[in-house]
Amino acid sequence: MALADNLAVANLPPALNLNIKVSHQYMATQFEQQAFYVLVDITHTPDLPKLRLPLNLAVVLDTSTSMQGVRLQQAKQGVQQIIDQLTPEDAFSLITFSDKAKVLLPSERHVDKARSKAIVSTIQSRGGTEMLQGLLAGMQELGVNRTPQSVNHLIFLTDGQTYGDEAACLEKSEWAGVNKISFTTLGVGADWNETLLDQMAMASGGSSIYIDSPREIAEVFKTTMHTLTLVVARELSAKLELSLGVNLVEAFQITPYITRVNFNSPAASLGSLAANNSKTLLLEFRVQAELCQSYDYLMKLNVEGDIPSQMDYQNWEAAEIKANFTSEPAKNTEIPSVIVTALGKLAIFKLQEKAMIDLEHGEVVMATQRLETMATRLLNMGESDLARSALLEAGRLARSGNLSAEGRKKIRYGTRNLSVLPKEINRD
Amino acid sequence: MIKCPFCGTNQVANTIFCSECGVYLLEDERRGTEALDVDPKNWSDETANEVLAAWDKKKSGTIVVRLKIGEKQREVETTLVKSVHLGRLDPASDVFPEVDLTNDDGLGKGVSRRHARILKRDNHVVVEDLGSINGTFVNGKRLAPYIPEPLNDGDQLQVGTLMIEVSLG
């Protein structure tokens, strides 16, 4: 019996839809231990109405001296485009920060667009970068107009490093995550702290974006806003229940971008789901046939989300993942190409991770080799820009023992965005 | 246990890519593309300017590409972020096309592993042939390799002899 027939889905499909593919339909009993991969595609059930949820949005802009020129002009244009897209039900606030934070537009609904845009155009740059001040003010504004239905979000743009308040910024981000406020953290240029901005975004259940050219700032604002208007589910989380003899080795989100997912806490938190995007996870397991072949299933996966447009708010979907055990290894059918593709791109992302870890441990030769291997693979894949960056940085590393701040970001965010998996449409 | 041929580390049975160096570990029977006698259908084609003008009217933003592939009309959909590659999956040579045409009889229809890509250029959607053996055609017109040409909603894309209906939204 094909494995697809074995996927028993508990309960009727509510707002969330799980599509599961496994690497091996048959597992050989003679191996002591074997690898097993599961690809989980989480989507919003297509036939349900997609209501646009009211936004509760705060934009926090770095206006330190380094933002002067194109960066600030583009950021202002981006904010004005966001204002244009607000509906009367959306709450909006704008905070600028340098040495101090200033609430330029306090949180309100029924935003007077012309007046707000005029105020935005008066923003000027001066001073240093004190992130925490801006963050605190932004979160305070988000507290003013939040409702159970609203998508609470903070867009945070900076081009510099903050000093001394990193831990507090992270702590606030965690607090935001718990309180259903997600962040999009945007870093412009080469001088910001990608580790901090990534951690802040992740702690809040949001995402971080690297903007290498200031000319892209306005476009990124627009896309971020567009995605927010398409949010259908918030607070997505996944739980795994494993049979004896099955162990999770690694878990990654593959789309919209590659990132590690932590299943160690009671549930893995997956952020929000937009109607136009799916969230795809790739899980790698070790299976000991001897221990688990007598069980009904290898694992149970439970995905939950908060869907404010649905009457009962809580929505969940579960699936049991089974495998057939056999002593004839030749029985295996082909591994689904979407799993091979996802793993192939993931392999590049992991090479990058390993190179950075090597570098932290002072293993310059090893890190250089990895970057060179990565460059060759990327070139083969047709990713010539990213390949060039990897090769340039490998050369720089071999000569100087260091990566450039810009190259490090290009490689980190470039490999993260390698994974575009198209959606198969089944019309039954 | 299997041994990675590239870096020599031991890997658990059924591992697909080496956990240490990322190399593809499975044996591969994928074959190269054979040259076919490709017969383009000569549909009338809009000029590039007409297509671009039509696109200018459309507001920029996210573009969704939907493809109906071959006789089976298999449908795939993707948001155009950077580019969408069309070809045949060949992990051993690092070829991971977003749209893998292997199961659409890609080999029989002369699809190269790295055949073509669809990308966004200045808010227009274009298609580029990647030096494929049997060519890429838009509405019957063969593209010069590596010269992107506009791709419009409703266009018939042909890779080798495989027909693909394009809708953009």
B18 and B96 in a single domain? The answer is: no
Q: How many CB atoms lie within 10 A of CB A161?
A: 13
With respect to residue B116, please indicate whether it lies within any of the assigned structural domains: yes
A93's enclosing H/E stretch is strand A91-97
**Domain that residue B21 falls in:** 1-28
Q: Which residues in chain B are contacts of A31 at CB distance < 8 A?
A: 13-14
Count of the separate structural domains present in chain B? 2
B73 and B113 in a single domain? The answer is: yes
Could you tell me what percentage of chain A is helix, strand and coil, using 3-state DSSP and rounding each to the nearest 5? 40, 30, 30
Average pLDDT, chain A: 88
Distance from CA of A150 to the nearest CA of B (A): 23
More confident residue, B153 or B59: B153
The answer to whether residue A347 neighbours chain B at the CB level (below 8 Å) is yes
With respect to residue B2, please indicate whether it lies within any of the assigned structural domains: yes
Of B76, B85, B130, the CB nearest to A425: B76
User: Phi/psi at A192 (nearest 5 deg)?
Assistant: -95, 165
The closest of A61, A103, A101 to A80, measured between CA atoms, is A61
Cβ neighbours of residue B150 under 8 Å, at least 6 residues apart? B48, B51, B52, B55, B124, B125, B126
The strand ranges marked E within A117-206 are 151-158, 181-188
With respect to residue B151, please indicate whether it lies within any of the assigned structural domains: yes
With respect to residue B81, please indicate whether it lies within any of the assigned structural domains: yes
pLDDT 10s digits, B8-33 = 999 998 899 999 998 898 876 556 67
Is B51 a residue whose pLDDT tops 70?
no
B74 and B16 in a single domain? The answer is: no
Domains of chain A, residue spans: 3-43+234-331, 55-229, 337-416
B111 and B161 in a single domain? The answer is: yes
Domain CATH number, residue B145: 2.60.200.20
Cβ neighbours of residue A84 under 8 Å, at least 6 residues apart? A113, A117
CB B113 within 8 A of CB B90: yes
With respect to residue B42, please indicate whether it lies within any of the assigned structural domains: no
Q: Give CA–CA dist A347/A381, Å, rounded.
A: 12
Tell me whether strands A101-108 and B83-87 are parallel, antiparallel or unpaired. Answer: unpaired
Q: What is the three-class DSSP state of A226?
A: helix
Q: Residue B50: what pLDDT?
A: 55
The answer to whether residue A39 neighbours chain B at the CB level (below 8 Å) is no
More confident residue, B93 or A170: A170
With respect to residue B152, please indicate whether it lies within any of the assigned structural domains: yes
Q: Residue A4: what pLDDT?
A: 38
The answer to whether residue B93 neighbours chain A at the CB level (below 8 Å) is yes
pLDDT 10s digits, A50-78 = 678 899 999 999 999 999 999 999 999 99
More confident residue, A231 or B34: A231
Is B117 a residue whose pLDDT tops 50?
yes
With respect to residue B7, please indicate whether it lies within any of the assigned structural domains: yes
Opening angle at CA A204, ends A199 and A206, nearest 5: 85
B18 and B72 in a single domain? The answer is: no
Is A196 a residue whose pLDDT tops 50?
yes
B109 and B74 in a single domain? The answer is: yes
B127 and B55 in a single domain? The answer is: yes
With respect to residue B54, please indicate whether it lies within any of the assigned structural domains: yes
Q: Give CA–CA dist B20/A335, Å, rounded.
A: 21
On whether the A55-229 domain is CATH 3.30.420.40, my answer is no
On whether the A3-43+234-331 domain is CATH 1.20.1300.10, my answer is no
Is A13 a residue whose pLDDT tops 70?
no
Going A196 to A198 to A201 to A204, the CA torsion angle's sign is negative
Of A33, A223, A427, the CB nearest to B12: A33
Q: Give the pLDDT mean for B121-129.
A: 88
Q: Residue B57: what pLDDT?
A: 45
